[in-house]
Amino acid sequence: MSGSPTLAEFVIAVDGPGGVGKTTVSRAVAEALGCRHLDTGAFYRAATVLAMLHHLDLSNEAAVMGVIAGTGIEYDDGRIFVEGIDMSKAIRTSAVTARVSRLSTLPGVRMLLVRRQREWLAGRGHRAVVEGRDIGTVVFPQAPLKVFLMARPEVRAFRRAGQQAIPVSAARQRLARRDHLDSTRNTSPLVAADDAIVIDTSDIDFRSVVEEILQLAAERGIRPSAPA
């Protein structure tokens, strides 16, 4: 994206750690605005699947970058395709979840995936709700609306335990490990952009969070597209 977005083109950046409701909220906001939703975590997960399929050691950044650079990764409507093959289920396995934070610390890998995410937006009329960890800070720093979702650790662990059918204590441990990796990496650590609006989702239902974001969007002139 170059220059300031016009009202016809916008990005709403939704960042935050795992278990705060980013996906549910950003999908609902995209639906209400009649635009696309991009889950950038799916790119990091797909790259992790690729590295695993090629039996690559994640410390070998050049090799991981090589396979990513030579592979088509497409995201469409909540599904991710690697060389045209739907990998949406494969990217959610516990083996991938256990490795993806490590892969996402590699600066060269991030550079390649950020480029793909920007290309994705350019191919979709520059209108989207984009969720991730570095959307407001690195991927689309010109986004006219940046939201950073957070929630208390026990609430996040409880939500994750429900989604993954694991004990709350295990969910809490895993989230703490991933938070540590995501927030202490040198390149694009998880941090709220200075101009992000921070919303604590611990004690409010997701509909209210969606309404709040739509209100913030309207204040910035971002409104639902007219039906085609």
Nearer to ligand DC, 26 or 217 (CB): 26
**C-alpha of 156 from chain center:** 16
Nearer to ligand DC, 52 or 211 (CB): 52
CB of 207 to ligand DC, least distance (A): 21
Q: Which residue has the tokens 């409104």?
A: 223
DSSP-derived pairing of the beta strands 145-150 and 10-15 = parallel
32 and 127 Cβ atoms separated by less than 8 Å = no
CB of 118 to ligand DC, least distance (A): 12
Nearer to ligand DC, 88 or 211 (CB): 88
Structure tokens at 165: 């059918």
HSE, CB side, 13 Å, CA atoms: give it for residue 125: 10
225 and 35 Cβ atoms separated by less than 8 Å = yes
Binding region for ligand DC (CB under 6 A)? 18, 40-41, 44-45, 100-101, 104, 132-134, 178, 182
CA-based end-to-end distance of the chain: 25
**Strand (E) or helix (H) holding 38:** strand 36-39
CA atoms of 219 and 211, how far apart (whole Å): 12
Structure tokens at 77: 């409507």
Nearer to ligand DC, 146 or 215 (CB): 146
Nearer to ligand DC, 191 or 211 (CB): 191
Nearer to ligand DC, 182 or 222 (CB): 182
CA atoms of 206 and 204, how far apart (whole Å): 6
